[in-house]
Each structure stands twice: as structure tokens, then as C-alpha cells.
Amino acid sequence: MTEKSESQDRVPIKGETDRLYQSVDMETQVRILEDGQPRFEIRRDALNDVVVWNPGPDAAKGMSDFGPADGWKRMRMLMSFNS
């Protein structure tokens, strides 16, 4: 796994996305925005790591239970945990 630092406060989803953020400050808000407005927010309690994932168009095609074909554009998976 390649380690990088995130310099943006937003993670744009334009295709396959699989990011792990380790040791995220508990005061950092983790939200999904839609049209610039908060749609969902994760409230974490002693969970320091965050994953942002989207299969993108190619991987979504191979998922038998994933649809419609362009559904990946609206799909977001956020998960918090301790590694």
C-alpha cells in the first residue's frame, strides 16, 4: 500500500476510489456532501481510522447485485474503525 497525505478537505469520487485515512482526529468531521450540502455524517467514538470506497464503473459491472449500471456514481461507502 502506498502512503500519502491528503491535502484536500474533500474526496471527489470520479471512478474507483479506495482510501484509508489513519489516526483521523476525532474533531474532524466526516461527511458526504450532495450539491455542496451535508447529506450524511459519521459520528465516531474512539474510532480513529476512516475508509472511503467506491467500486467505480469497471468493478461495479462485475458485481451481480450492483445496479443500475451507473449506480456507482451515487454510491459512497464510509466506514470508521480502529486498525
Predicted confidence (pLDDT) at residue 32 exceeds the cutoff of 90: no
Q: Which pLDDT does position 1 carry in this prediction?
A: 62
pTM score, whole prediction? 0.81
Cα–Cα distances in angstroms (integers) from residue 19 to residues 33, 35, 76, in the given order: 17, 22, 12
Q: Which pLDDT does position 69 carry in this prediction?
A: 87
**44-80 pLDDT tens trace:** 888 999 999 999 999 999 998 888 889 999 888 999 9
- C-alpha 9: how far from chain center: 13
pLDDT, average across residues 30-39:
86
